[in-house]
Structure 1
Amino acid sequence: MADNRNPEDLSVLYLQATHISSSVSSLTVDDIVKVKRSDNLIWKLYTDNYLHRRVLSYLNHMGFYGVLECGSQVIDNHFITALVERWRCETHTFHFTCGEATVTLQDVSIIWGLTIDGEAVTGVDVSHKVEEWQHICLDMLGFLSASKYLKGGHLSMTALHDHCISNPVNDETSEVDVVKFTRCVALMIIGGIMFPDYQGGSSRLIFLQLLRDLDNVKSYSWGSAEHFYIIWAWSRIKYVNPDRDGLTLVVPPVDPDALIPVSPYGAR
């Protein structure tokens, strides 16, 4: 970079004309990226203790428990804007004054505890009619969603949340119903935290095909598609992280027989 604003070599950063940093160069610095969140309802389930230990055990087995343990992050739109201004699609790295950096698979594995080995998270986005999606939801999630909650292969988070609230898992719940409840929660985690998209407040039902066999979920490389920038930036860019003065990191011993494992680095 020639300075903090303009690229030195446009043959490398050839998208500069349409890049957000061009706004900074023209001194129109009030354009703030507003982050659309889709995760509020999954955190409500978590904090209100609707996730029974049997469900948490399944989520751990699937590899998603660490994402929940990292908790809901306070979104600083100015901070996100600063990161976006420094992200370059041409190189898939952040361009800082000290050099380039990016989220690595090791970061994802250590910070969030997600799997980074295995099959890629892909699939064919099959176009189903609303009635077909309703029957798929009944079969795999345990409820027949109202048509108003289904749109373009997306299922509303509200429908998933309301079903979980109305049908909580307890010690007496059948294993079949626990599995269906867990799929609902997993779909909320995937659509609300891991793979949020332009729809907002909904999750893509294409992911259901990967949740059919809970024993097989961890065989997919969920981490290779994930970018959780807030915690990553806190851990890598020390002067922007929360104040840790006087804070001592205590890592509890790992009990191999424990139902739920020790939290990942991001949570601690």
Structure 2
Amino acid sequence: MVERWRPETHTFNLCTDEVTITLQDVEVLFGLRVDGEPLYTRYEPPPGSTWVTELTRLTHFVPGAEGQMSGQSRVQISALCTYLEDLDPVQDGTQQDVVDRHTRLYMLIIFGGILFPNSTGAFVCLRYLVFLEHLDWLGDYSWAVFVLAYLYRCLCRASIGAVSDVCGFFALLQLWAWKRMLPFQPVPRHHLDIDMPYARRWDWVGQGVWSSRCPLIHIDIVEDHMPERVLRQFGYTQSIPPDVRHELRHYQRDDWAAVDDEFLAFMAVQLHRWENRLGTLAVVGHLTPIQDYMRWYH
């Protein structure tokens, strides 16, 4: 699949047409919220603090052994797991602040081990602590956008040879391929009621954003959501999409990239685009005969 990924359009180029993972897929397959607040923060920890200090303040975990930290902003996932195993289990009478500390540790493990793993899968970035300060705010964030932006970035960097290993939320990629591409589907182990699709367990509160031409923001990562290139996935006839502008250099950003005035101005524009997400929905224009579209595509 990586060989078929086009970083300039964020689509898989197949022999018949383009397909991709959209916000609709993330919400339907995993129930992650689409329409919410963007998860964006600057790199620096709060003034007068460090990421290790913030980790200790919010979880009471103190990295000490050699190898538990990678640089100043990544902690070893296995060290968090070992620390959790040594803690008393949460019970009905456990104080709320203790429950919150456990929750933050589990969330860091989920972030680094499942949703946003790096190429090693061994460390988690401590910048995610910014979003774990107030646990009651977690339901307000657009987690589907956060997940999809990171997966797009990982696929882009792998497809242009920027990294040797592919990472990201691959359970999403796998289930999307099973759902969208019949040749990839395994034989089901269980027969479900055809009148009750499994995704019906969630309320799709983000349907209005599924086809939005919006930025996907993941802290400092920004990738474009391009539903106009895969209109057939939304039940429409595919027309010839507009040209795209592509800048390869933005894939070079990482945890050590400078946060200068130019980047902050760029992020201000992207946050404004997200606020206007309902005004940039992909629309069905003039219907293109399938022969004209296929001629353009090939």
TM-score strictly above 0.5: yes
Q: What is the CA distance between 1:199 and its match in structure 2?
A: 4.7
Q: In the alignment, is residue 225 of structure 1 matched against residue 146 of structure 2?
A: yes
Q: What is the CA distance between 1:212 and its match in structure 2?
A: 0.6
Q: What is the CA distance between 1:262 and its match in structure 2?
A: 4.9
Q: In the alignment, is residue 150 of structure 1 matched against residue 69 of structure 2?
A: yes
Q: In the alignment, is residue 241 of structure 1 matched against residue 161 of structure 2?
A: no
Percent identical among aligned pairs is: 32
Q: Which amino acid aligns with 2:80?
A: L
Q: Which amino acid aligns with 2:181?
A: I
Partner of 1:163: 83
Distance in 2, Cα, partners of 1:218 & 1:264 = 13
SS in 2 for 1:136: helix
Partner of 1:98: 16
SS in 1 for 2:98: helix
Gaps of at least 5 residues in structure 2 are 152-171, 205-298
Partner of 1:108: 26
Contact 1:142 / 1:177 at 8 angstroms: preserved in 2?
no
| Residues 160-169 or 202-211, more deviating | 160-169
**1:264–1:151 Cα change, 3 Å:** farther
Deviation readout 1:158-201 (Å, 9 max, x if unpaired): 12111211113222321111111001111111122111123531
Distance in 2, Cα, partners of 1:176 & 1:94 = 45
Counterpart selection for 1:137 from 46, 55, 79: 55
Contact 1:110 / 1:264 at 8 angstroms: preserved in 2?
no
What is the TM-score with the length of structure 1 in the denominator?
Answer: 0.58
Distance in 1, Cα, partners of 2:110 & 2:190 = 33
**1:201–1:249 Cα change, 3 Å:** farther
Gaps of at least 5 residues in structure 1 are 1-82, 254-260
Distance in 1, Cα, partners of 2:29 & 2:79 = 30
Q: What is the CA distance between 1:245 and its match in structure 2?
A: 7.3
Contact 1:142 / 1:181 at 8 angstroms: preserved in 2?
no
What is the TM-score with the length of structure 2 in the denominator?
Answer: 0.53
1:4-15 correspondence runs (5 A):
none
**Superposition RMSD on alpha carbons, in Å?**
2.9
Deviation readout 1:52-84 (Å, 9 max, x if unpaired): xxxxxxxxxxxxxxxxxxxxxxxxxxxxxxx10
